[in-house]
Amino acid sequence: MKALRTTTAAFSSFLKPSSTFSLAAAFQHHKIAHVPRISLTSSKQNTFRFMTTASNDTPSSSSSSTPPPPPPPKFDAEMAHLYQRVAENHYHENGPWNLMLKAFQDSNSQLEEQDPSFRLLDLASGHGEPCTLFAKTYPNAHLISTDFSNDMVELAKERTQHLSNVSVEQADMQDLRFESNSLDVITCSYGFMFPPDKDKAIAEAYRVLKPGGVLIATTWNQLPLMALVGDIMTKVLKLDQRPPPPPLNPMSLSEPHLFESMLEQGGFEVMTSTTSSYPFVLASDHDFSFKMVTMLIKDKLNELNEWDTARDAYNSLINHYAFVDADGNTVIDDNVFKLTVAKKPVMM
Ligand SMILES: C[S@@+](CC[C@H](N)C(=O)[O-])C[C@H]1O[C@@H](n2cnc3c(N)ncnc32)[C@H](O)[C@@H]1O
């Protein structure tokens, strides 16, 4: 399990697949009937980076004896804006944020009754969700929206400036500045898939939560868009099978029970784990839909100067993955996510 986790967290390159790990799991739910098997070499280091990392985003290491982990690849400004458009879909009633709020209310109503000024930390908050939704629902609570990317932090500041109970700051979820046992709730929507050291991120969440505190997180189980991206890269790289996914891989925790077992190994008690799905409405503008789909591979396409091939591939593949709705929007359906609620046990 440990080796598997290391490998899923550190796909080294789109260019040189060679190894013992099957990517079948990462692609197991998408619409294509046959699942290619690709092998990778397990490595702690990403030898290839798709995203640049600004120096002021480099996290500090909390340990002087071990070398610091490589900085996570970054959601840059262009991605932040594209992601904001994609994220409009997440407001769906069956989307992550509504269901996270409901899970909190179901599992933690006592906390709210006892202490309306509870402290909630939102990790990998992006442009500020689900922090903003919780802040509006619980005006007496104290909420902190955090993200690794300064560009995302700026968007979150803009979106929450009218909310007096929210503060926004830059933070790497692998290395939090918060005191141990200081927070009542941690939320994290679509974030735990991205840090290179996911165990460290879980350990940090555990550390800063109070005993009895609750972690509510969503992770992707099935994302047809990633299969489409894989097919586009297969054509761009002229391969006969899908290459490994990019380092910023939303599917890195899609293996059944993987996230739950990582949480349990980190000391959490998993209370519930449920799945739900909703459609992604991309755009009626064909070019904009293409940009949204290729968001995670844009640096690679720039490096290879292969935008034309990618566009041709997208044009030939999109109907396989998407349909056009009555308003002319390209829609990708069957996006399945997992909502996990876990508790830091109260030690006796
Ligand atoms: C898919 S977005 C999720 C944003 C938001 N929570 C939502 O539900 O739409 C993932 C976010 O994780 C952030 N991220 C990636 N690595 C991170 C890390 N090590 N620490 C904190 N945030 C990170 C990215 O900058 C990005 O904003």
Would you say residue 46 lies in a domain? no
Peptide linkage before 130 cis (omega within 30 of 0): yes
> Which residues in the chain belong to E strands, given as ranges?
119-123, 142-147, 166-170, 183-189, 209-222, 269-281, 323-324, 330-343
Domain carrying residue 162: 2-9+75-222+248-282+338-343
Please tell me if the CB atom of residue 176 comes closer than 6 angstroms to any atom of ligand 1.
no
Closest CA relative to residue 225, chosen from 334, 88, 139, 78:
334
pLDDT at residue 345, rounded to an integer: 95
* Cα angle 47, 52, 54; round to 5: 125
pLDDT in tens, 238-288: 999 999 888 789 999 999 999 999 999 999 999 999 999 999 988 778 888
Name the residue with tokens 């994302």. Answer: 223
Across all residues in the chain, what is the average pLDDT? 80
Please tell me if the CB atom of residue 76 comes closer than 6 angstroms to any atom of ligand 1.
no
Rounded CA separation 126/189 (Å) = 9
Whether the CB-CB separation of 254 and 221 falls below 8 Å is answered with yes
More confident residue, 278 or 26: 278
CATH number at residue 272: 3.40.50.150
Is it the case that residue 7 has pLDDT exceeding 70? no
Would you say residue 311 lies in a domain? no
Would you say residue 21 lies in a domain? no
Mean pLDDT of 181-207: 97
Q: Which ligand 1 atom lies nearest to the CA of residue 218?
A: 8
More confident residue, 30 or 147: 147
Ligand 1 pocket mutation pick from 81, 101, 148 by most atoms within 8 angstroms of CB: 148
Q: Which of 59-68, 103-112, 140-149, 308-317 shows the lowest per-residue confidence on average (mean pLDDT)?
A: 59-68
Would you say residue 254 lies in a domain? yes
Please tell me if the CB atom of residue 57 comes closer than 6 angstroms to any atom of ligand 1.
no
Would you say residue 23 lies in a domain? no
Crossing angle for the helix pair 77-87 and 150-160, nearest 10 degrees? 50
Please tell me if the CB atom of residue 196 comes closer than 6 angstroms to any atom of ligand 1.
no
The predicted model scores a pTM of 0.79
Number of domains observed in the structure of the chain: 1
Mean pLDDT of 153-158: 95
Please tell me if the CB atom of residue 153 comes closer than 6 angstroms to any atom of ligand 1.
no
Would you say residue 33 lies in a domain? no
Three-state secondary structure call for residue 75: coil
Would you say residue 296 lies in a domain? no
Name the residue with tokens 């202490």. Answer: 115
Closest CA relative to residue 15, chosen from 246, 173, 214:
246
Quote the ligand 1 centre to 273 CA distance (angstroms): 21
Closest CA relative to residue 296, chosen from 230, 228, 248, 243:
248
Mean pLDDT of 310-315: 96
pLDDT at residue 114, rounded to an integer: 59
Quote the ligand 1 centre to 103 CA distance (angstroms): 21
Name the residue with tokens 């189980």. Answer: 221
At a CB cut-off of 8 Å and minimum separation 6, what does 48 contact? Answer: 12, 13, 14, 15, 247
Three-state secondary structure call for residue 169: strand
Please tell me if the CB atom of residue 125 comes closer than 6 angstroms to any atom of ligand 1.
yes
Would you say residue 70 lies in a domain? no
Task: Report DSSP state, residue 77.
Answer: H
